[in-house]
Each structure stands twice: as structure tokens, then as C-alpha cells.
């Protein structure tokens, strides 16, 4: 826990002041593949995690599964740290490089409404900047899936 707090403090020094003033939570994520929503998750300020996935085969009716869980203190700290980093990038285009098609893409949103900060991403982007961004986003997805595991 002490290491996590120290790391979070170092991250805060590297994040612009305007991003530090904004809350790290709530975060809303949407993931799409071929124009179809395949996953949605939310992390609330109190650490509640809710996940929805559509596991339907292409061309088949929707087959949603859901799960709910709660982040522990270190999970909240890790999510907040990654959230501050990612939120600072909201609204800033990232060079994708030559894209790999047939790979999911999506967005993260902090808050509600049209003015809420939003960060779009594509897991098929190949530039170094996009790979670094997607690494942090993948880590958030991993935390969500560990906290609120979906039935197989």
C-alpha cells in the first residue's frame, strides 16, 4: 500500500494541475467491435464496479452478461492513478499509426453530459504513443474484470 501511495504521489507531480483538480471517478467505458457495443463498464466514486458484456456471436441475438463488484483501497488508488494519467489525455488526438483492423475500439468518459471529458482509443493502433495509451487502458480493463468477474 505504501508503494502504491508513493507511486500515486509521483504520478500526481507529472500530471497537469487542471487534471489533478478533476475527480478521477466516476469512469464510464464503452468498447465496440465492428460497430457493435460489446462491453460497457462503470466505476463509481465509492469503488462500485459494474460490467456488461454482449457475448453474442456475429449476426446472432444479443447475449448480455453482467457482474458487479467493489474495489478495495489499493484498487481505488490504482484506478485513480491511471485515471488521472488518462484523463489528462482526454480530447487530445493520439497518432494511431497504421491501424490493425478487426480489433476493438472505444472510449472512456469521466462524468455525464456532452461536456464530460472523453478519451477515444483503438486497440488496433500501432504507434508507440497509442501503444502506451492502450497499455494504461488495458490495465483499467484488467482491474475491472478482476473486481467484477463475469461468468465464463
pLDDT digits (tens, 9 = 90+) for 100-141: 998 999 999 999 888 999 999 999 999 999 999 999 999 999
- Looking at residue 34, what is its pLDDT? 87
Position 83 pLDDT exceeds 80: yes
Check the CA dihedral 60-62-63-69 and report its sign.
positive
Q: Residue 55 sits in which domain range? A: 2-147
Cβ proximity of 79 and 140 under 8 Å: yes
User: Residue 35: inside a domain, yes or no?
Assistant: yes
pLDDT digits (tens, 9 = 90+) for 24-76: 889 999 999 988 899 999 999 999 999 999 988 877 888 899 999 999 988 88
- Looking at residue 61, what is its pLDDT? 86
User: Residue 152: inside a domain, yes or no?
Assistant: no
Q: Supply the pTM of this predicted model.
A: 0.81
Count structural domains, the chain. Answer: 1
Cβ proximity of 41 and 113 under 8 Å: no
CA 117, CA 110: separation in Å to the nearest integer?
Answer: 6
Residue 62 grid cell? 444479443
User: Residue 50: inside a domain, yes or no?
Assistant: yes
The pLDDT-based confidence of 22 (bands split at 50, 70, 90) is: low
Tell me phi and psi for residue 21, to 5 degrees. Answer: -75, -20
User: Residue 141: inside a domain, yes or no?
Assistant: yes
CATH at 73: 3.30.1560
CA 68, CA 36: separation in Å to the nearest integer?
Answer: 22
Amino acid at each position: 500500500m505504501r508503494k502504491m501511495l508513493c507511486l500515486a504521489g509521483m504520478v500526481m507531480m507529472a500530471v497537469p494541475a487542471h487534471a489533478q483538480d478533476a475527480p478521477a471517478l466516476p469512469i464510464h467505458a464503452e468498447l465496440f467491435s465492428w460497430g457493435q457495443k460489446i462491453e460497457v463498464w462503470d466505476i463509481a466514486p465509492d469503488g462500485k464496479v459494474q460490467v456488461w458484456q454482449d457475448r453474442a456471436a456475429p449476426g446472432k441475438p444479443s447475449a448480455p452478461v453482467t457482474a458487479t463488484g467493489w474495489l478495495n483501497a489499493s484498487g481505488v488508488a490504482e484506478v485513480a492513478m491511471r485515471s488521472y494519467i488518462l484523463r489528462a489525455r482526454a480530447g487530445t488526438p493520439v497518432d494511431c499509426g497504421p491501424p490493425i483492423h478487426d480489433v476493438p475500439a472505444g472510449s472512456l468518459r469521466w462524468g455525464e453530459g456532452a461536456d464530460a471529458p472523453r478519451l477515444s482509443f483503438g486497440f488496433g493502433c500501432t504507434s508507440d504513443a497509442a501503444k502506451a495509451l492502450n497499455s494504461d487502458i488495458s490495465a483499467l480493463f484488467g482491474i475491472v474484470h478482476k473486481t467484477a468477474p463475469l461468468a465464463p
